[in-house]
Structures are given as structure tokens and as C-alpha cells.
Chain A
């Protein structure tokens, strides 16, 4: 069974701290996606990682991909309240151009 596991599923942290969200997957893939969802809203694409060792950064968020370990990380640096949201990772299996396998999401609360 294809699985994408995120941890933690819930994270409460203080502003200014650093933290990492992990995304493990069970299938062979070199394409991984990170999305953000604000409460009651749709999903916004954050990062697309298309190869082993890919690293992308946008502001205080940095995502990386290790296809050999089947692991992606989303690192938050010096968190601010505006980053409070639910973060999803999704994997595109090698034998599928279309379907994404989704993680359960990590709900991140950043306290002022």
C-alpha cells in the first residue's frame, strides 16, 4: 500500500523558534510537493521538489528531498505567527503521472 506519513500531525510552537516537519513515503518517487492550507481555505502550492537532493527556500520555509531515504523535510526558521496553517506533503509515484498520494497534514500553530 502506498503511504505518505507526516509527523508531527500537530505542532504548537513559539515565535522565533526553529522546527522541522517530516514527510516519509513508501513508494518510489522523485517528485514531492508541499502545500499550505489556511483554516477554511483551499490549498496553496509552496514547493515542488523534482530530484534527489533538491532544496528550495521561500522566506522562512525551506524544503528538501532525499529520494533514497524516501524523506522530505519542511524546515521553519524563526517562526512567525503568519506561518500558522496546515501543511501537506504529497508524492507522485513513479508509475503515475497524475495521481498524488497525500499525507494527513501537519497543523502548525505559532504563538506570539
Chain B
């Protein structure tokens, strides 16, 4: 079955640690995205990537980093520079066409202890 997987589902981090969230898709989509969602809020774009080895900052990129070495994978690292990283992180992907419908993974809930 085609889809997007994210791991882990839950992640606990101590202050000062870097953590990496995994996102994999087998939909053959060109574009991938990372969003952050705080409780009761909408989605905010962290980073997005249109093609392999290229990515752009979104609205709240500070304290985060990404890589896109393979078309299927778009991992997100939450660094110690991110002051308030506790949130729900959602990965999405889409085709490169006029439709641009984004499909979402199940999400990773990150909690800083």
C-alpha cells in the first residue's frame, strides 16, 4: 500500500538534545513538507523540498534542519536551538502538478522533558 510513514509516533527529549524525526513516502511524490501543530492551532510550515538535494525554509525554520538525499525520505532534526519544541509534527507529500493535493503521515508527538 502506498503511503507516508513517520517514526517514532511519540518522542521524548531532554532539553539540550537534538532529535531526528523520520518521514518516508512510497507515493513517488516529488515534494515533501514538514509542519508543526501546537494544541488547538493550525499548521505552520517548517521546511519543504521540491526535489532531491534541495529544500527551502518555511515560516518557522529556526531551530530545525532537514535533508533530502533520497526522493522517498525527508528527515527533520529538531535542534537544541529550538526553544519550545513540544508539538505535533506532521510530514506531507504531493505530486508536482496542478493538483498539489498534500497527503499526510500519521504524525510524531514530541515532548520536551
Report whether B90 and A43 are in contact in the complex, using a CB–CB cutoff of 8 Å.
Answer: yes
Interface residues of B (CB under 8 A from A): 31, 33, 41-45, 48, 50, 58, 90, 92, 94, 96, 98-107
Judging by beta carbons under 8 Å apart, are B42 and A99 in contact?
Answer: no
Known: A42-B106, A42-B107, A98-B94. A105 touches B100 (CB 8 A): no
**CB-based nearest B residue for A44:** B104
Least CB separation from B96: chain A residue: A97
For the complex of A and B, the 8 pairs showing the least CB-CB separation, nearest first, are A43-B104, A104-B42, A42-B104, A102-B43, A42-B107, A102-B42, A48-B101, A42-B106
- Decide yes or no: A48 and B42 within 8 Å by CB, A42-B104, A98-B31, A98-B50 being known contacts: no
**B94 to chain A: which residues have CB within 8 Å?**
98
Among the interface residues A35, A100, A102, which one has the most CB atoms of the partner chain B within 10 A? A100
Task: Determine whether the beta carbon of A92 is less than 8 Å from that of B100.
Answer: yes
Closest A residue, CB atoms, query B101: A48
A99–B102 CA distance with the chains assembled, in angstroms:
10
Task: Enumerate A14-64 residues with CB–CB distance to B below 8 Å.
Answer: 31, 33, 35, 41-45, 48, 50
Are B107 and A100 within 8 A (Cβ)? Answer: no
Give chain A's interface secondary structure class: loop
Choose among B45, B102, B103 the residue with the greatest number of A CB atoms under 10 Å from its CB: B102
Cβ contacts A80-112/B at 8 Å (1 or 0 each): 000000001010100001111011110000000
CB < 8 Å neighbour of A99 from B48, B98, B101 = B48
Which residue of chain A lies nearest to B58 when distances are taken between CB atoms in the complex?
A99
Q: Specify which chain A residues have a CB less than 8 angstroms from the CB of B105 in the assembled complex.
A: 42
12 new A-B pairs (CB below 8 Å) besides A35-B104, A98-B94, A100-B100?
Answer: A31-B98, A33-B102, A42-B106, A43-B43, A43-B104, A45-B101, A48-B99, A50-B99, A97-B31, A99-B48, A100-B45, A105-B41
